[in-house]
A = this chain, B = another copy of it.
Amino acid sequence: MVRWRRYRPDDGFYELFTRSAQNLVTGAHLLAELALPGVDVQSVSERLVELEHDSDQIAHEIYNKINSTRRPPLDRADIYRLGSTLDDVMDHLEAAGTLVYLYGLTKLPALPREIHELVDALTQQAELTAAAMPRLRTMRELREYWIECNRLENEGDRAYRMLLVRLFSGEYDALTVLKMKEVADELEAACDAFEHVANIVETIAVKRA
């Protein structure tokens, strides 16, 4: 006798998480462009704002789907948290890029090395997250993702700390210090929010175990 597995549609939640995470990869790459000589910083900021709007729309599509789906594949509260935290990361990436533009920081000879280290950590976190989202469907091979994402957060944290030591060393005037610290705070918050995404995935996987 053939027994049929009850078909349970996922209603596109995994695709939406993946699209949201892919926007984060694009966002991190745009931030990396800011280090290039002669970059058009206003255009980078505008592209980040567009990406951020797109991520907002994906988040709202997710919230609406929670409403309209009778049996979502994950707890409604977890879907909500995952969707909104992916959106949080984008908010911080956009804020960092826009502040570099608004504060005119690319007029400096060079941004401190630690800012590039933070952007590197973010880029790796974004790529890991985008690769992990489709695996939520099967809940397989997620453990390495969240461990590595947490490790990168620690690395970002260390870069942030050393950046502040440099900023407070007297190398820059007080207002430039304040401007760069605002940018660094957004980058560090993005790093944290990626870890938060990884923790939500861990919680979801723990429930399924």
A interface residues (Cβ-Cβ under 8 A, vs B): 63, 66-67, 76-77, 80, 84, 95, 98-99, 102-103, 161, 164-165, 167-168, 170, 174-175, 177-179, 181-182, 199, 202-203, 206-207, 209
Q: Are A76 and B206 also in contact (CB < 8 A) when A99-B161, A199-B84 are?
A: yes
- Contact in complex: B76, A161 (CB < 8 Å): no
Taking a contact as CB atoms closer than 8 A, the residue among B80, B99, B207, B209 that contacts A206 in the complex is B80
- Residues from chain B with Cβ under 8 Å of A98 in the complex: 161
Cβ A209 vs Cβ B67 within 8 A: yes
B207 touches A76 (CB 8 A): yes
> How far apart are the CA atoms of A209 and B69 in the complex, in Å?
10
- Copies of the protein in its oligomer: 3
Nearest opposing residue in chain B for A91, CB measure: B157
CB closest chain-B residue, reference A207: B76
B179 touches A175 (CB 8 A): no
Q: Which of chain B's residues have a CB closer than 8 A to the CB of A209?
A: 67
The answer to whether A168 touches B179, judged by C-beta atoms less than 8 angstroms apart, is yes
Other A-B contacts than A99-B161, A178-B181, 6 sampled, CB-CB below 8 A, are A66-B206, A67-B206, A84-B199, A102-B165, A103-B168, A174-B175
Residues of B within 8 A of A168 (CB): 103, 175, 178-179
Query: Chain B residues near A84 (CB, 8 Å)?
Result: 199
- The reply to whether A202 and B76 form a contact with Cβ atoms under 8 Å apart is no
Contact B182 A164 (CB under 8 A): yes
Minimum C-beta distance from A191 to chain B (A): 14
Contacts of A207 in B (CB 8 A): 76
Would B63 and A103 count as touching, CB distance under 8 A?
A: no
In the bound complex, CA of A147 to CA of B84 (Å): 15
Query: Which 9 residue pairs are nearest across A and B when measured between Cβ atoms?
Result: A174-B174, A67-B209, A102-B165, A168-B179, A168-B175, A67-B206, A66-B206, A168-B178, A103-B168
Q: How far is the CB of A87 from chain B (nearest CB, A)?
A: 11
Chain B's closest residue to A66 (CB) is B206
